[in-house]
Copies of this chain bind each other. A is one copy, B any other.
Amino acid sequence: MKLVKVYVTLKDSVLDAQGEAIKSAINTMGYDKISDVHMGKYFELKFANDYQELENDVDKICDDLLANPNIETYRYEITEAE
């Protein structure tokens, strides 16, 4: 099995309103040493082992489904899993 871990985050130029809200909530909880919060999405995709075109296809899946290329970027890592 191949386990692909995909991280989707907002582009730096896009206001991360959720992150700001979470930062303010953390401040309200009494933690004042936090300087920045960003929120994103995390996906784990499992594929069959004998997958030749894996990287190509993961790129396409991210571009077309998991991330909105207008406002988000993604990165991923491919690992082995049982």
Contact = CB atoms under 8 A, between A and B. Distances in A.
A34 B38 CA distance: 29
B7 A61 contact: no
A64 B26 CA distance: 10
Contacts of A60: 29
A61 B23 CA distance: 11
Contacts of A42: 7-9, 39-42
B61 A35 contact: no
A39 B38 contact: no
Contact of A44 (B40, B43, B46): B40
Interface of A: 1, 7-9, 22, 25-26, 29, 31, 33-48, 51, 57, 60-61, 64-66
